[in-house]
Amino acid sequence: MTSTVRRVAVIYATEQGSTRDIAEFIAADLAERGARVELHDIDHAPAPGQVDTVVLGSAVHNMDLLPSAAAYLEHNRTELASTDVRLFTVGLGPALRGPIGRRVGRMVPKKIAARREAVHARDYQAFAGTYERQGVSLKARILYRLMGGGRYGDLRDWAAIQTWSAGIADSLGLPAARTHTIHP
């Protein structure tokens, strides 16, 4: 019995580095499981036809993907629609708490939902990133607190990221990881 090595491109568009860190984690996890993984920033992303699966991550600004990620999806929309695509975003929503914050945090912004549908993404997941207090206006800090933002700093949930990556690996028929990276 011959097994086919899955070719996966993990592509990211980052503003402050959180999305890159998550993309690196996912790429390492899939490679550990036997996939042939290419990690690219969005400006050096391969054509979708060169791989079996595209995992694309973007920071969220103004309730949309970063312009470079949106442009990649639009430019490659036809080819991506026939490719196995997984999308993830990194923003504050998943870190919000309280009744209002949790509800807002679960909502997928309309522009992101439309982009997801346009490329027929098989999966989508939103993750929290990092949010530093320094340089944030008083108005933005008050709004953050009202929406359920409880703290600043690294808000990423590495266990949730690991679970999502494992789900991708399982759906690709990759074996279980021999080791697991643990983040703080």
Domains of the chain and CATH, by start = 7-171 (3.40.50.360)
- pLDDT level of residue 2 (50, 70, 90 thresholds): very low
Q: pLDDT tens digits, residue range 48-86?
A: 999 999 999 999 999 999 999 999 999 999 999 999 999
The residues that bridge with 91 in the sheet, in sequence order, are 128
Strand partners, 40: 11
- Quickly count: other Cβ atoms within 10 Å of residue 100's Cβ: 12
pTM of the model: 0.90
Across-strand partners of 59?
Answer: 90
Dist CA 55 CA 122 (whole Å): 10
Which three-class secondary structure state does DSSP give residue 152?
coil
Task: Report residue 111 CA to chain centroid gap.
Answer: 16
Task: Give residue-wise pLDDT tens across range 24-56.
Answer: 999 999 999 999 999 999 999 999 999 999 999
Per the CB < 8 A criterion, the answer to whether 166 and 159 are in contact is no
Q: Is 139 left (phi over 0), alpha (psi -120 to 50) or beta?
A: alpha
